[in-house]
Structures are given as structure tokens and as C-alpha cells.
């Protein structure tokens, strides 16, 4: 009999010196796990973009030129449906004042402090639109309503067309030194709005904006970890108790899982990794993956003991039989997750690296700590002959007897399902990264339905000359651009300095409506702007619209909620129009939603490359491990087909492939290999060591490894199904798609791989 020298030596040492193994394992776990004390969590949307991301660089350049866009938008919805009552306007005044008191608040905009301009003789009067609303007359209230609902800088931005909703926009200058600053601000804002709501019970407040979005990333991750991890542990515990029927074995597996997670996280944190909403799922994934090695080792071990083998010999034999397949599955799984380093989004790289590290640590502990624990702890089993599992024997007989029909049928099923792959499209909806249980998602939907939405495109348009924004020709082209943008069906509002110039021109001509147009002379425009800026109060200057030397302006197009494809489509139309009409100016377009729109498409391409590299490496490893080019190639069939079939199924049930799903192929390549490796390993052992025919080798493989494959796949599918209930779409979509892939892979390994082996590998071992 051919023996694995390495596994024999390691197995003998482990079972004969369990206390030493236990001590060394605990020292390693203690040293590596100590890194967890440096755990940091980052929930800024920027974590999804690398430092060299072109859209992030463009956005940072724009942010460094003008005031930053980080904001909290408080939407006010009166029960009466009318914002323009004395009490409701007084509430807006109070909320605006309270906004200035928030941490990092640098600017507050609302209908109450909008800098309204009127002419009195030769003087330009600049003042808040709403002052002491409780003392306003009916005529004054009507005037305020008239101005607010006709002012381009307010309508659809800070007040709805019907006046039933208004917004208070608080701009934040975040230092960026505290990764939890968004959550801290969100807590303060909620406290403020809770107190405000108690005072104004007839008003409903909705919290949106980029700061609240950043907070939502963190809250989604914390919610998932507090709910999903305990649920997953519960599922694993139930499956292990049911399948292993041994308290000692179940306890040992749970300890190994916990130690693997602690060690992997600790080492990752030593390496400088900060957890994000995506990488925070690593413990759940490690928990799921670590079970597989343990189950294979323990099922064989307990099987041997039930046949009457002494405990140490039972474990040594289990290590001998399972060492190679466990090592192969761990390495291939790690390679699959390491392929996530090709991702364009750093959180997926971190997720891949942490899980790969956890899988390899779990492998080492499963061949050292687990055997040591099982040797030291009492193990009670009932002796019986369970060599032939009846369910697996029936399945084996069915597969052997119907090999041809299964081969043809599964081939046709695979072809049919994969034909639906073109139904998928690379698409994402950035706001829908969160389900409706998250406050930000509900507020973003409300904003989209009642005002202009959280999506926008910011454009910096630079003339290249100091004071160039006052040129009549430049202003005319910007106005033409603004009008073109407003004609686009996706655009809800455009914020442009040209509206201010038109209003000032009208003011300086005795407020005559016919003068509501752009100034026709540069000097006149510059004087108007200077006079207006000198009259503005602190905090309400024009730095959010004009750069320091007045060579450029920022135009912000606010959009309805759009998908990735719709966003990229309007971006292209904007670029085409600019190329045709504004090519003489330096223009930079950027925004967070543009960043997310581009990264999804780019990530798909990079992950396809990563998946190909992983596939090549895994193929080479399997060919070398099986010492058979034929078996290595045969193993690729049930490894590649499940991902294709899963994407075909996804095309039928959803069809949207976003950032989260773009990494599934790379992840699952390593995972689905596990079952194939274990099945072929037992199949090859039957042919080489026992000299069995292909049919009998298939029967042997089902008998010895069938139950373990079923158990491990059940745990994996359960784990990723649990992940699919995440309130964060990137995680939930990734979890559901991975669960589908693993389930399909198990079916293919049971019903498709054996017929392939019996057809293509007929020669005796």
C-alpha cells in the first residue's frame, strides 16, 4: 500500500505528543490573535476605491478646488402637506440654526437662510429669505412662497415643486482622521432631530446625504455581524451535532473555527488591514470554509472508531487518507480567494486575503490541533459496521446504472442554463446597496421621489484666466449647457452660478423682469459678483461654486436614482456635448456615483483575469497532485461548469451583475474544487491502491466520501445563504450567487463527474 510519508510522520507526532501540539498551537493563536486589539473599522464609501482610481483622483481634484460635498440632508415633511405656514417656516429656521452647531459643520443651506436679493434704489439688499416667520403677514408668507417656488437655486433642491417638502443641507468639513467620524456625526444628528421632532410632532424628518450614506455602510456591517454570525454558528452547530453525533468532535470543530478566525484577523490587522463593510464578512466566510476540513477528517476518524479501531490509530489513518485532499482543497480555496487581489476595490482584496489566510490556518490547525484535541478528549462511539452508507450506496448504484443518460442530460442542462448567461448585464444601483431596513435607503428613496435625489455629477469648468468667469461669452455657454442638462430626462436640478448672475442683473435694473438675463459686459458682471460677495454672511460665500481666482466654476447636475448603465450613458452624452460646445475650456466631471458606476465594469474585467490566473494555477496543482494529466483535465469540467450554470440561473432570476457579484467566479473556483478533489482522490485511491474498476471505484468514492461531501456542501450553502440575508447588497448578492454555485457544484460532482470518470477513465489504476 502506498503511504503518504509526510502525513504519516505529522500524524504520528500529533497523536503521540498531543500536549506539545496543543501548547504550540495556543502560543501561535495567542501571538497572532493579539493583533485584534488594533482592530479598526472604516465605513467611508471611499474605501471601495484604490488611491490610483481615476474617478477618485478626479473627484479629489474637484473637492480640493471647491468646498467639499460631504453633507447631511435633513428632509422636512409636514403632516399638513404645506411647508409655507408660519409654524413650519419657524421650524426650518430653528433646524437651520441647529445645523450650524453640529460637529464639522461648515455651511448650512435652507429656504430660510437663502440669500435673497432685492433692489432699493441704487442699493442691493442681500438678506435671509425668511426672518421671524411667526410675525409674518399673509402677504409676506405669500411672497416667500412665490420666491421659493420660482428660484432656480431652491426649486427641486431645497423645496419641492408643490411646497410639501423642504430640505436643510448641512455641509461638513470632515478631517478624515477618525474612521468612525460618520457614525459619530450620525449619532449627533439623530439626537438633534429626535429632540426637534419632540418639539415639532407634526413634522417628519428624513436623514440623507453622503455622511449618512457613509454611516449606513458601517451600520449595515454591524447589523450583519450581530445577526448573521450567531445565526451561522447556530446552523454549523446543528449540522455538526446531527452529522458527527459526537459532542467532543463538535466542540473541537467550534474551537478550531474560533481560533482560525481570531488568528486570521489578528495577522491581517498586524499587516495594516482595516475592516470595511465587505471585509467584515470574512469571519462568516472563514467559519463556513473551516468546517470542510474538519468534517472530512472527523467523519473518517469516527468511522474508523465505530469499526473498532483504537483512537490514535483511527486518527492516524484518517490523517493518512485525508491529508492530501484536505491540503489540496485548502490551497485551491486559498488561491480562489487570493484571486480577489485582482479586484479594483480594496475591500474585496482584503476579504480575499483574510479568508485565504483563515483557510490556510484552519488547514494547519485541522491536522495538528484537531487531532491533538480528539486524542486528549474522551470520544464515545457505538461500534457498528457502517462501511456502506445505504443512501450513498443507492445513489452510487443509480449513477452507475444511468451513467449515459446522466452524462447526456447534465450536458444538455449545463448548455441550456449557460445559454441564459447573456441575459445578465453589468449594472448596479448605488443607493440599492442597502435594503429598506436601513434608514439611509428609505431617506434616499424619499429624496428621489420628492426632490432631486442623492445622485449627481459635478463639473469643474475652468476658463484658464483669472476672472474669466465674468466673460459674457463664457456665461452664455454655461447657461446654454445648463438648459441642455435640464432637458435630459435623468436631470432633476442644475446648480449654476449663471442663475445668480441673472438675478443680480435683474436686481440692478430695478427688479424689472425683462432684465432677468446674463450681463452683457464683463466689467458689469464682475462688479455685480463683487457687490454680492461682499454682502454675503460668513459661511454662505460662493466657494462652493467659484474657485479662488474666479477662473472656473462648479456646475452640479442633480439626478434621479439611476443604474450604472444609465449613469454611464448620461456621462457620455455630457462629454459629447462638452466636446462639441465647450472644448476650449478645461473640464473635469466627477462624483461618488460616477466612481461606483465605473468601478463595477472595470472590476468585472479584472476579476475575469484573476479567475483565469486562479484556474491555471489550480489546474496545474490538480494535475501534479493526481499525477494524471487526464484526471486533472477531467476535474476541471465540474469545476468550471457550476459557475457558468449559476450565472445562467442568475440571468433568469435577476440579471443584474454588480460590484458584489463580479468577484463570485474567483471565489467559487477555489471552493467548488473541494468536492471534486475529495471525490477524485478517493476514486483514484480505489483504483491505485485497491485495483478496482472505474465503476467500483465510483462506488467506493460514494461510500467513503459521499456523506462528508454532502455535509460540507450543506454547511457551505447554509453559510452563504445566511450571508445572502445581509442588508448590504454587495454581501447579500455575493452570498446568494455563491450558494447557488456551490449547490450546483455538488449536484455536478454527484451526478456528472462519476459518469465522466467512467466514460473517459476506463483503464485500470
Range among 12-16, 132-136, 392-396, 641-645 rated most confident: 132-136
Residues 6+ positions from 87 with CB-CB distance below 8 Å: 134, 200, 202
* pLDDT value of residue 247: 86
Report the CATH number at residue 14: 1.20.1640.10
If asked whether residues 175 and 228 sit together in one domain, one would say no
Domain boundary among 590, 622, 647: 590
State pLDDT tens for residues 612-662.
888 888 888 888 887 888 887 887 788 788 888 989 999 998 888 877 777
If asked whether residues 232 and 347 sit together in one domain, one would say yes
Q: What is the pTM of this model?
A: 0.83
In degrees and rounded to multiples of 5, residue 764 shows phi and psi of -65, 150
Task: Determine, yes or no, domain membership for 504.
Answer: yes
Task: Determine, yes or no, domain membership for 426.
Answer: no
Task: Determine, yes or no, domain membership for 60.
Answer: yes
Domain boundary among 542, 569, 590: 590
Question: Which ranges in 538-693 belong to alpha helices (H)?
Answer: 564-581, 592-626, 629-653, 664-688
Q: How confident is the model at residue 290 (pLDDT cuts 50, 70, 90)?
A: confident
Nearest to 694 by CA among 708, 680, 675: 680
CA dihedral 128, 134, 140, 146 (to 10 degrees): 70
Q: How confident is the model at residue 392 (pLDDT cuts 50, 70, 90)?
A: confident
Domain boundary among 538, 564, 590: 590
Distance CA 153, CA 167 (A): 13
Q: Which long-range contacts (CB under 8 A, 24 or more apart) does 228-235 make?
A: 228/284, 228/722, 228/723, 228/725, 228/726, 229/283, 229/284, 229/287, 231/722, 232/284, 232/287, 232/288, 232/718, 232/719, 232/722, 233/287, 235/715, 235/718, 235/719, 235/722
Distance CA 678, CA 709 (A): 8
DSSP state for residue 79 in the 8-state scheme: T
If asked whether residues 291 and 269 sit together in one domain, one would say yes
Task: Determine, yes or no, domain membership for 688.
Answer: yes
Number of domains in the chain: 2
If asked whether residues 742 and 692 sit together in one domain, one would say yes
Q: Give percent of the chain with pLDDT exceeding 90.
A: 47
If asked whether residues 71 and 127 sit together in one domain, one would say yes
If asked whether residues 151 and 266 sit together in one domain, one would say no
For residue 762, pLDDT beyond 70:
no
* pLDDT value of residue 3: 46
586-590: average pLDDT: 93
Distance CA 709, CA 677 (A): 10
Distance CA 504, CA 524 (A): 10
State pLDDT tens for residues 718-736.
888 888 888 888 788 888 8
What 3-state DSSP class applies to 489? coil
If asked whether residues 477 and 412 sit together in one domain, one would say no
If asked whether residues 578 and 505 sit together in one domain, one would say yes
If asked whether residues 550 and 410 sit together in one domain, one would say no
- Supply the mean pLDDT for the chain: 88
Distance CA 614, CA 745 (A): 17
If asked whether residues 192 and 254 sit together in one domain, one would say no
Task: Determine, yes or no, domain membership for 49.
Answer: no
Cα radius of gyration (the chain)? 32
If asked whether residues 316 and 295 sit together in one domain, one would say yes
* Range of lowest pLDDT (323-337, 432-446, 648-662): 648-662
State pLDDT tens for residues 201-226.
999 999 999 899 888 888 887 787 78
In the structure grid, which three cell numbers stand for residue 346, read together? 480594496
Q: Domain of 723?
A: 5-38+215-419+596-760
DSSP state for residue 591 in the 8-state scheme: -
For residue 2, pLDDT beyond 60:
no
* Distance from the first to the final alpha carbon of the chain: 13
* pLDDT value of residue 388: 52
If asked whether residues 253 and 328 sit together in one domain, one would say yes
Distance CA 677, CA 716 (A): 16
Amino acid at each position: 500500500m502506498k503511504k503518504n510519508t509526510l502525513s504519516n510522520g505529522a500524524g504520528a507526532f500529533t497523536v503521540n505528543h498531543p500536549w506539545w501540539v496543543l501548547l504550540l498551537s495556543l502560543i501561535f493563536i495567542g501571538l497572532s490573535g493579539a493583533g485584534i486589539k488594533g482592530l479598526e473599522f472604516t465605513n467611508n464609501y471611499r474605501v471601495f476605491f484604490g488611491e490610483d482610481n481615476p474617478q477618485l483622483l478626479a473627484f479629489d481634484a474637484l473637492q480640493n478646488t471647491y468646498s467639499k460635498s460631504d453633507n447631511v440632508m435633513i428632509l422636512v415633511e409636514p403632516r399638513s402637506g404645506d411647508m409655507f405656514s408660519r409654524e413650519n417656516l419657524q421650524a426650518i429656521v430653528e433646524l437651520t440654526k441647529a445645523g450650524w452647531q453640529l460637529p464639522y459643520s461648515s455651511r448650512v443651506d435652507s429656504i430660510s437662510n437663502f440669500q435673497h436679493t432685492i433692489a432699493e434704489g441704487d442699493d442691493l439688499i442681500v438678506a435671509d429669505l425668511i426672518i421671524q416667520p411667526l410675525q409674518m403677514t399673509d402677504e409676506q408668507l405669500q411672497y416667500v412662497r412665490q420666491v421659493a417656488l420660482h428660484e432656480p437655486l431652491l426649486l427641486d433642491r431645497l423645496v419641492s415643486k408643490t411646497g410639501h417638502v423642504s430640505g436643510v443641507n448641512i455641509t461638513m468639513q470632515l478631517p478624515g482622521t477618525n474612521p468612525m467620524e460618520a457614525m459619530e456625526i450620525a449619532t449627533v444628528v439623530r439626537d438633534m432631530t429626535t429632540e426637534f421632532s419632540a418639539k415639532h410632532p407634526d413634522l417628519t424628518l428624513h436623514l440623507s446625504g453622503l455622511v449618512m450614506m457613509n454611516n449606513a455602510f458601517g451600520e449595515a456591517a454591524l447589523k450583519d455581524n450581530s445577526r448573521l454570525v450567531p445565526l451561522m454558528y447556530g446552523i454549523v452547530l446543528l449540522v455538526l451535532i446531527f452529522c458527527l453525533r459526537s459532542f467532543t468532535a463538535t466542540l473541537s470543530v467550534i474551537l478550531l473555527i474560533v481560533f482560525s478566525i481570531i488568528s486570521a484577523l489578528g495577522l491581517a490587522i498586524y499587516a495594516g488591514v482595516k475592516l470595511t463593510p465587505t471585509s467584515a464578512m470574512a469571519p462568516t466566510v472563514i467559519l463556513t470554509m473551516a468546517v470542510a476540513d474538519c468534517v472530512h477528517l472527523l467523519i473518517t476518524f469516527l468511522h474508523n472508531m465505530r469499526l473498532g479501531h483504537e483512537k490514535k490509530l483511527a486518527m492516524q489513518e484518517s490523517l493518512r487518507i485525508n491529508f492530501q485532499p484536505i491540503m489540496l482543497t485548502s490551497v485551491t480555496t486559498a488561491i480562489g480567494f487570493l484571486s480577489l487581489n485582482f479586484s479594483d476595490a480594496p475591500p474585496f482584496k482584503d476579504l480575499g486575503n483574510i479568508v485565504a489566510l483563515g483557510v490556510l490556518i484552519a488547514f494547519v490547525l485541522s491536522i495538528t490541533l484537531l487531532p491533538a484535541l480528539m486524542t486528549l478528549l474522551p470520544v464515545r462511539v457505538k461500534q457498528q459496521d457502517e462501511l456502506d452508507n445505504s443512501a450513498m450506496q443507492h445513489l452510487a448504484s443509480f449513477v452507475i446504472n444511468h451513467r449515459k443518460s446522466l452524462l447526456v442530460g447534465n450536458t444538455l442542462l449545463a448548455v441550456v442554463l449557460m445559454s441564459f448567461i447573456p441575459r445578465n448585464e453589468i449594472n448596479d444601483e448605488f443607493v440599492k446597496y442597502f435594503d429598506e431596513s436601513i434608514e439611509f435607503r428609505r431617506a434616499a428613496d424619499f429624496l428621489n421621489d420628492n426632490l432631486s435625489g442623492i445622485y449627481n455629477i459635478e463639473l469643474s469648468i475652468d476658463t484658464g484666466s483669472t476672472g474669466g468667469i465674468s466673460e459674457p461669452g463664457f456665461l452664455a455657454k454655461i447657461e446654454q449647457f445648463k438648459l441642455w442638462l435640464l432637458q435630459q430626462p435623468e436631470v432633476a436640478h442644475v446648480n449654476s452660478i449663471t442663475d445668480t448672475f441673472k438675478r443680480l442683473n435683474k436686481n440692478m435694473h430695478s427688479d424689472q423682469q425683462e432684465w432677468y438675463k446674463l450681463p452683457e459686459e464683463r466689467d458689469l458682471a464682475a462688479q455685480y459678483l463683487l457687490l454680492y460677495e461682499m454682502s454675503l454672511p460668513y459661511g454662505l460665500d460662493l466657494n462652493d461654486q467659484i474657485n479662488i481666482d474666479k477662473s472656473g466654476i462648479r456646475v452640479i447636475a442633480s439626478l434621479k436614482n439611476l443604474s450604472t448603465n444609465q449613469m454611464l450613458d448620461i456621462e457620455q452624452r455630457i462629454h459629447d456635448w462638452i466636446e462639441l460646445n465647450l472644448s476650449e475650456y478645461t473640464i473635469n466631471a466627477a462624483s461618488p456615483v460616477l466612481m461606483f458606476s465605473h468601478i463595477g465594469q472595470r472590476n468585472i474585467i479584472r476579476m475575469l483575469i484573476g479567475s483565469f490566473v486562479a484556474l491555471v494555477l489550480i489546474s496545474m496543482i490538480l494535475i501534479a497532485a493526481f499525477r494524471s494529466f487526464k484526471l486533472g483535465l477531467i476535474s476541471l469540467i465540474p469545476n468550471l461548469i457550476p459557475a457558468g450554470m449559476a450565472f445562467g440561473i442568475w440571468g433568469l432570476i435577476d440579471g443584474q451583475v454588480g460590484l458584489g457579484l463580479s468577484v463570485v467566479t474567483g471565489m467559487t473556483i477555489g471552493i467548488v474544487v473541494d468536492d471534486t478533489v475529495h471525490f477524485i482522490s478517493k476514486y483514484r485511491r480505489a483504483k491505485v491502491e485497491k485495483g478496482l474498476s472505474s465503476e467500483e471505484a465510483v462506488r467506493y468514492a460514494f461510500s467513503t466520501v459521499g456523506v462528508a461531501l454532502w455535509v460540507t456542501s450543506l454547511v457551505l450553502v447554509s453559510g452563504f445563504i445566511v450571508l445572502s440575508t445581509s442588508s448590504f447588497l454587495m454581501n447579500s448578492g455575493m452570498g446568494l450567487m455563491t450558494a447557488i454555485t456551490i449547490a450546483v457544484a455538488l449536484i455536478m460532482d454527484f451526478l456528472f463527474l462519476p459518469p465522466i470518470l467512467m466514460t473517459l477513465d476506463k483503464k485500470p489504476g
